[in-house]
Each structure stands twice: as structure tokens, then as C-alpha cells.
Structure 1
Amino acid sequence: MADEPEDVPELDVPVGMFEDIEDLKAQVAHLKSLVERLAGPGEEGPGEAPADEDESAGGEAAADEDSEEEEWQYPPFILLLDPPEYDDELRALIEWVEGVLVPGYLAEPSADARWCHLWFEHPVAVARLHACWLAWQELTDPVSCGYTGPSVWHRDHLDPCLRELRAPNGPFTGCTKGEHQINHRLPGAVPSAWRQSDG
């Protein structure tokens, strides 16, 4: 034929390669739709449509599962929770503090290193210990943080947390061995910076 160039090489393409290319196209289409969803509400351009309706629906289901996983995997800060979620999170925090922190890290309380056995009634203590616990969950998993995670947790989270909580002017200032005081640390009623008003 006169229209074809003379030096076109013959290509011997394995049949499986076509399947691989189709798989890659499907993956690219899925990733493209995912990026568009994450980037915000956008409309498809004229003439653009999902490569495959079923694949698109499957991608949405997978995205929903991913968002549920992320929600479960990253719990919100305890002060942002309302009951019953707050109560559940506090129960789990108490188990960790009493099961790991108290026996492993707290020595006998003193004037220079205070502790209150009713620490969960001190909002400042709850907030600091919850933050320390969240960091502990992340930094004791070698898969996500390697083998230096526990060292980082001690240095950057546990030590500063205990230093602040057990300081002579910390939240347990009025608490002694036989006595628990909490009112000395609570301010008067102020508008909450943590919750939105329902008005």
C-alpha cells in the first residue's frame, strides 16, 4: 500500500500485555475519579464520562470504606467528644493510665511530683493524658514509626506530659495523699472554645 511507511517494524506483542494495559487504564481512571472527589466538587467536562459504570460504583464503595477506616483509625481529641463517645473514650483512657502509666512510670507522689488518684476528674489531666495516649498508640507501632517510636514517645510526649501534670503548680496542686480537691482548678463559666453553640 502506498499510504503506509516502508520501514514500519513488525511488533510481536504478547497477548497478556493487552490485559495489563487495560488493568492500568482502569486503575488510572479510578485514581482520576478519586483525585477529583478529593479536590472538591467538580463537574466532568463535556463528553467526559467514567470509563466503566460498574467500576465507578465500585470505586465509590471503596472510597466509603476508606473514609470509615480513617474515621475509626484516627479518634478525635477527647475534649471534642460528647457523651456517650466521651465516656467510652475516657473508659479506655483510664484502662491505659491505670494499667500502663501508673504502674510503669509513676513513683510515690510527693510535693515536687504530685499525682491524684482521681485524675480523671481534672479536665486538664484528662486532656494531657489523652494526647499522650494517642501519641503512644501511634509511636509504639513499628510498622508506622519504625523502632525509634518509643524513644520519641518518651522524649516528646511522656516526659513533658508528666512534668506538667506533676509540677507543684500543676492540676493536682491541691490534691494530697488523703485528700482530693478539684474546685481550686476550675474557672467560672466561660464560653467554650471547643464546642459550637447550638443557637
Structure 2
Amino acid sequence: MADEPDDVPELDVPVGMFEDIEDLKAQVAGLTALVRTLTAGETGEAGEPVPPPADDGPAPASDAEQDEEEWRYPPFILLLESPEYDDELRALIEWVEGVLVPGYLAEPSADARWCHLWFEHPVAVSRLHACWLAWQELTDPATCGHTGPSTWHRDHLDPAVRELRASNGPFSGCVKGEHQIDHRMPGLVPSAWRTEGDLAS
């Protein structure tokens, strides 16, 4: 053709090389688009670097971490208000009536008092709740090894029961089946056991 220069050298280029070059061009274009996407801010233009995140202190704990912290560090019951207090009292009642009473408390006597409405005595609730918190920690080998139960008996259960059942303890005015303090009637369940359906009926 007339518009082509006369001194164009003839190059012996393999056909496959052109395909390789086209592949490289496509890869470079894809990487360029990816870089622009990664370096663009939420509202910024492509190619604008993303500013470093502000240092707002430690990252908030995940839901699993928060659940673990709440389980490992439960609140003291007397610091709670309803409905949290009722939920904690319900769990405490289940532990006291299901573990402590059948496993550790013999028949009440003048020298070993017990009130079947112990949950109406704030001092008893606070001492038993503290004993229960210690039991949760010291019966878990992952946190206390194998000596935890022995420590719980010596440092928590025995002192708590001794104080509760003493002649001048919180049950000193109570005799078997009777009370010398202002209680609800024994036939009524405590408020922590009531449900919305019970209250409506």
C-alpha cells in the first residue's frame, strides 16, 4: 500500500504471543479496577486513598465475648432491680432447693435453723447468692482445677450455712412451719416464680 513505509522490517512473531499479551492486559485491567475499589472510600472517588480509621479505643466486644463476661462475672443479687432480680432469684431458688437443701441441709432443729421461706429473708438471699456464685466458679475444673470443690466447701458453703443456721442468724425468729417476721402466706409462690399469666388470673 502507498501509505506504508518501505523500510518496515518483517518480524517473525509467534501467534500465541499475541494471546498472552491480551491475557496480561486483561489481568492488569482487573487488578487496576480492584485497586481502585479497595482504595476508594465509601463516598470517595476511585483512586482516592482511604484515610486511616480513627483510634476510638479498643474495639467493642463481640456478642460471644460479652456473653462470656456476663457469665463469668454475674451481678450481686442485691444490686439488681426487677425484672433482673426476679430472674436471678428464680435461678437461685432452683439451685438452693435442687442442690443445697437435699444435699447439705439436715432436718431443721433449735441448733440448726432453716426457714422454708428463706427467699423472704434478704440476708439469706444475699449469703446464698454469694455461695452460689462461688459454686459456679469453683465447680468448673477449667477455672479452678480439681481443688475447687474443696475450697468451696471450706471457704463458702460451711461459713454461709453456719451463719444462716446460727441461733442469732436470719432464721432465729422462725420455727418449723411458722414465722416471727412479716411474710406473705406460705401458700403463695414468691414473686420470682410468678408469670404474667399468674398475675392476670
One-letter code aligned to 1:158: L
1:141 paired residue number = 140
Q: CA deviation at 1:86?
A: 0.1
Offset at residue 52 of structure 1 (A): 6.8
- Which deviations, in whole Å up to 9, do the C-alpha atoms of 1:121-148 show, x marking residues without a partner? 0000000000000000000000100000
- How does the TM-score come out when normalised to structure 2? 0.60
SS of 2:147's equivalent in the other structure is helix
2:173 is matched with which residue? 174
Partner of 1:26: none
Structure having the larger proportion of residues in helix: 1
Q: CA RMSD in A?
A: 2.4
Deviations 1:94-145 (A, max 9, x none): 0000000000000010111000000000000000000000000000000100
Code of the aligned partner of 1:168 = S
**Which residue identity does 1:89 align to in structure 2?**
E
Is the partner of 1:147 in helix, strand or coil?
coil
Runs of 4 or more off by more than 4 Å in structure 1? none
Supply the distance in 2 between the matched residues of 1:149 and 1:112 (Cα, whole angstroms): 29
Distance in 1, matches of 2:128 and 2:115, equals 13
Q: Structure 2 CA distance, aligned partners of 1:181 and 1:120?
A: 15
TM-score for both structures, normalised by structure 1: 0.60
Structure-1 separation of matches of 2:71 and 2:152: 22
The structure with the largest alpha-carbon Rg is 2
Structure 1 residue 74, shift from structure 2 partner = 1.4
1:25-65 Cα offsets, whole Å, 9 max, x none, are xxxxxxxxxxxxxxxxxxxxxxxxxx975xx89x725x344
Structure 1 residues 52 and 114: alpha-carbon distance in aligned structure 2, compared to 1, 3 A threshold: same
Matched-pair identity in %: 79
Contact in 2 for aligned 1:122/1:182 (Cα 8 Å): no
Aligned partner of residue 107 in structure 2, secondary structure: coil
**1:112–1:166: 8 Å Cα contact kept in structure 2?**
yes
Q: What is the aligned residue count? A: 131
Could you tell me which runs of 5 or more consecutive residues in structure 2 were left unpaired when the two chains were aligned: 1-50, 184-201
SS of the residue corresponding to residue 180 of structure 2 reads coil
The aligned runs of 1:60-139 (5 Å cut-off) are 60-61=59-60, 63-65=61-63, 66-139=65-138
Question: For the residues of structure 2 that align with 1:180 and 1:127, how far apart are their CA atoms?
Answer: 19
